[in-house]
Copies of this chain bind each other. A is one copy, B any other.
Amino acid sequence: MTDPRELRREDFDDLSTATTRWSDNDMLGHLNNAVYLELFDTAINAWMVRETGIDERVAPEQGVVAQSTVRYFSEVSFPGTVDVAVRVARTGRTSVVLEAALFLPGSEDVVAHCEWVQVYIGRESRRPTPIPAAALAVFDRCLATRAPRDATS
């Protein structure tokens, strides 16, 4: 994998802004590490719901996170907003790997990076199941858009 710090906003499929909260800061005066994961989780889920149109509370398949890796490069503190970027990294038969990055407003420095492995399971079976068509179409479209750039690297 490329060093995540080389990523820029334009490398991603989605960008949203989140506000921080007073309670996000820990005793050391910066965002608690679990808050980063809340922010990545929020950006990923909001994008997924909007793009795929899938309501996981009723859909026959659910996407559950199997692994999340967060790398913390610099500190962020309340007050202020953060930009959260999301992109599709790759797909498997029953899972997708997403990446997310956190930027401060007006900066292209990656503050933190998340690799997020999501597995689809049957609502009833609780066993892995192929990525639903509506989601796969979104992932494929994102990967196709980025392919030419990746091909040159």
**Residues of chain A having any CB pair with chain B under 8 Å:** 17-23, 25-29, 32-35, 37-39, 41-42, 45-46, 49-50, 56-57, 62, 64-72, 75, 78-79
Contact = CB atoms under 8 A, between A and B. Distances in A.
Nearest to A126: B75
Main secondary structure on chain A at its contact with chain B? mixed
Contacts of A68: 33, 69-70, 72
Contacts of A18: 19, 21
A21 B36 CA distance: 11
A109 B64 CA distance: 19
A48 to B, nearest CB: 10
B67 A70 contact: yes
- Counting chain B CB atoms within 10 Å of each CB, which of A17, A23, A56, A68 scores highest? A23
B27 A29 contact: yes
Given A27-B27, A28-B62, A72-B66, A38 B34 contact: yes
B19 A49 contact: no
A28 B33 CA distance: 18
A41 B20 CA distance: 12
Given A22-B38, A27-B57, A67-B70, 20 more contacts: A19-B19, A20-B42, A21-B39, A22-B32, A22-B42, A23-B32, A23-B34, A23-B41, A25-B27, A26-B26, A28-B57, A28-B62, A33-B37, A33-B68, A34-B37, A50-B79, A64-B75, A66-B71, A66-B72, A68-B72
